[in-house]
Structure formats: C-alpha cells, structure tokens
Chains A and B, each alone.
Chain A
Amino acid sequence: MNSSRIPIRKEERPPRLIDDEGRRVDGRLPDELRPIKIEVGVLKNANGSAYVELGRNKIIAAVYGPKELHPKHLALPDRAVLYCRYHMVPFSVMERKSPAPSRREIELSKVIREALEPALFLEYFPRTEIDLFIEVLQADGGTRTAGITAASVALADAGIPMRDLVAAVAVGKVEGRIVLDLCDIEDKYGEGDMPVAMMPNLGQITLLQADGVYSPEEIKEALKLAMKGIMKIYEVQKEALKRKYIELKREVEEDYGKK
C-alpha cells in the first residue's frame, strides 16, 4: 500500500497569524505568555518532581539521585553525570508518535542537559549520576523550553544544589514581528523560532538556539522579549517551590505543637 496516499491529520494554517489589532491566533498580544501553572512534588516515588502547564503543553519532570553510576567506567572522578531523557508520550501529538526515542528527542535530551548543567553544583557528588526524566504528556509548541522550566523546579525539589533556577521560553518571528512564546501553529507557519533558557538571577544564558533569518536588531529585540518572559516564568517557579515548602513547614509545626 502506498502510505503517501493516507491523508495526514493536521491543523490547517489560519489565513492570518496576526490580525490587524496585533492579536495572534490564540488572541494573545505579541509580548504575552500563555497561562502557566507549576506544581511541585507531584510524584511520590521520585526524589523530586514538577508538573508544568504552559497553555496546552503538559509536561512532567522527575529527578532521581544522586546514585551510583553503572557501568562504572562512565563515572567521572570529579563530578556527577547528569543523565537527561526528554520523551514525548504517544498521545502527546495528533498523529500517534512512536514511543521509541526519535532523533529529535535524543538531540533535545542533550540540549536540555547542556542548558541545565551550568546551574548545578555537579562537583558536589563525584562518581555519581543524577537522573532526570522529562515526559511530554501533551505538546503544543515550546515543549523543550517548558521541559527545562519543569526540570529545574524538579531538581530544586530533589534538593540538588543549584546556582540558580533555569527558566526558558521561546521567541520567534511571525509575519515579520517578534513574538513571545510561540504556539504550535505559529511555530509551524511562522518565520522563525528561538528558544532561550536563562539563569534569571545571574543573568546568564544557558541555551540559545534559532532557526529562521533575523537582523541584528531583531535578535536584540527577541532577547529582550525572551528575558521579559523568563522573569515572569521565574516568578511562577519560585512561587510554586515556596508554596509547597510553606505548606510542609506548617504541617511540621502543627505536628510539633501537638506533641
């Protein structure tokens, strides 16, 4: 059977990606983020975990470790190895995705690992391994950046020493305008996509990729916009971590008060 005859189910390109009032396909302004929600400690069995909803993206991240690395010849004598797996579940996209790791997922795992490594004190745990799993439950553009956001919260929840949290967001070019936090349609039919990850307190960029063509001014504008989005995401991350621990502290104090 000729498989190319099977029609592919996909969302159709809307006639305009930005309307006359400057609104985007989902009604957002160019510098507006999608609604974001972060929960900490959603998994009982992992050492640390986080759940992130960014618009229609749903991502869960879990951390194990530090633990002994097997096979032992892969262990590093002076620091821990960060093992990162970014994975999309089969029902995360419209067409069923094969659960086997694709070329894209393997590459994104590496990219995410390199975006998080500068933020961690890996030298505190020589000859060990820290496992990080990022599962994309539902994808709608910008999953790698939302994955980094979730992963850094999960690492902080696991008590891994960190220089700073890492927050990430994508900026891009749609119909000649620089916009923040691209959704799937904008990513597919827009002119460019630029994921940026940053350590917000230290002001250091840990991930910067781009496709599309930009002028130097556009790059500056895009980075400025990305930093604005990252600061907003960082506030949500911080608030989520504090919310969990304030609850925990209250519980402990109540128990202590009873005794």
Chain B
Amino acid sequence: MSRRVEIVTPGEEICVIEEFLPVDGAYDDGKGKVRSIYVGAPEYDIGNHVVKVRKITNRPRLPLANDIVFALVTDVKDTVSTCKIFEIENYGRLSVPFTGILHITQVSTMYVKSLYDVVRNGDIIRAWVLNNNTPYLLSIKGREYGVIRALCSQCLTPLLLKGFTLYCPRCKKEEKRKVSFKYYIRMR
C-alpha cells in the first residue's frame, strides 16, 4: 500500500493504478501512478477501489447543470433573452458574471406568445441552469422560478406583487411578468 497523507498538492503521487482508479480530482499519469490535480485531501474508497481528491477550497466555482442561479436580464427579444448570471444559490456572488440565455421554450409549460410578457430589461430572475458550458442556457419553468425583482417600465419604481400581477405604486399601472413565488416585495 502507498503511504497515506492528509493533504496533497497537484502532481503528488497518491497511489498506483493497481490499487485505486482515479475518479475525481486525480489522474493517471500514463506510467501507472495516480496523482492529485488539486490541493486537497485524498479519499480512498476501499470497496470500489477508487480514489478521489476533495478540494479544500470551493474555488473555482462555475455554474453547473441544475444549479439555481440569479441573473440580471440585459436584453429581451421576442423569442430569446440574454442575462448576466451573477450569483449561484447556496454559494454566493461570482467575481465575474457569466452570460445566460433564456429561450421562450424554457419559460413555461404553456404556450407563450412573446418573451416581453415574461421578462423585461433590468429584471432579476431566479432560474436553473440546463448545461455545463458558456453560454449557459437557463430555464424558469416552475413556480419558484421567474422574476424576483422588477422595475416599472415607465418610472423605474420597484414593482409590488399584488395577487398574481405586478403593480407600480407610483403610476398605478399593472405590468405583466412570469413571477416567481419568491418575489421580493408584496403588496400588503
């Protein structure tokens, strides 16, 4: 058996390929040795004969499929909208935003005529990620996903949730969005 250490650095030998197969955070160097690719702690699974290296930091964190993210809508067209993903739920702010794409087919399980009825420029949406690469494809199907903050298109006052519609307290006007039940201010 190889020596067992608590923390390994990239390139450090953690075992030989006959002992454990590398699955995550480790690689086979082509000469029969398994080496770490992160600074982390190796975890040996003796039952399945696999080894993985658990990273000690949670960096770098990129959006992954099924992550719940928060994004700012930067552009809306009839069928497609572009967003900036700035935060991942249960992780925190990203240091640099990533581009997300919201297509009209990923908005609702029902027929939607135009994306202008769903999101508008400057809205913040809660969405989930469909793929693992940039540009990230987003979906807001489901009650908990959708707009969580919206501004009035005339006076930029934050809109209030009144029943199922959004209401501007200044213009006394209603606006149409696909609202998440996590919308941040409700009318009392």
Q: Tell me the A residues contacting B by CB distance below 8 Å.
A: 47-48, 64-68, 75, 119, 121, 125-128, 156-165, 199-202, 237-238, 241-242, 245-246, 248-249
Contacts and interface: CB of A to CB of B under 8 A. Distances in A.
Given A64-B95, A165-B10, A156 B59 contact: no
B50 interface: no
Contacts of A200: 11
15 contacts: A65-B60, A67-B96, A68-B97, A126-B134, A156-B9, A156-B38, A156-B39, A158-B60, A159-B57, A162-B38, A199-B11, A201-B13, A202-B29, A237-B9, A249-B7
B67 to A, nearest CB: 15
Contacts of B97: 68
B95 A68 contact: no
A6 to B, nearest CB: 45
Given A48-B59, A125-B62, A159-B60, A64 B10 contact: no
B79 interface: no
B98 A68 contact: yes
Interface of B is mostly: loop
A158 B58 CA distance: 9
A238 B9 contact: yes
Contacts of B7: 242, 245-246, 249
Contacts, number: 90
3 nearest A-B pairs in the assembled complex, by CB-CB distance: A164-B11, A162-B10, A67-B96
Contacts of B62: 66, 125, 128
Interface string B82-93: 000000000000
Nearest to A161: B37
Contact of B96 (A64, A127, A165, A201): A64
A250 B14 CA distance: 22
Interface string B51-71: 000011111101000000000
Contacts of B177: none
Contacts of B174: none
Interface string B1-38: 00000110111110000000000010101000001011
B94 to A, nearest CB: 8
A238 B62 CA distance: 26
Given A121-B37, A158-B60, A126 B12 contact: no
Contacts of A162: 10-11, 37-38
Contacts of B11: 119, 162-165, 199-202
B99 interface: yes
Contacts of B29: 163, 202
Nearest to B29: A202
B153 interface: no
Contact of A163 (B13, B35, B60, B96): B35
B54 to A, nearest CB: 11
A165 B9 contact: yes
A241 B59 contact: no
B56 A65 contact: no
A68 B134 contact: yes
A48 B56 CA distance: 13
B133 interface: yes
Q: Which of A67, A68, A160 lies at the interface centre, i.e. has the most chain B CB atoms within 10 A of its CB?
A: A68
Given A121-B37, A202-B11, A159 B55 contact: yes
B72 to A, nearest CB: 14
A127 B60 CA distance: 15
A47 B61 CA distance: 10
Contacts of A47: 59-60, 95
A208 to B, nearest CB: 19
Nearest to A201: B11
B37 A242 contact: no
Contact of B39 (A75, A126, A199, A241): A241
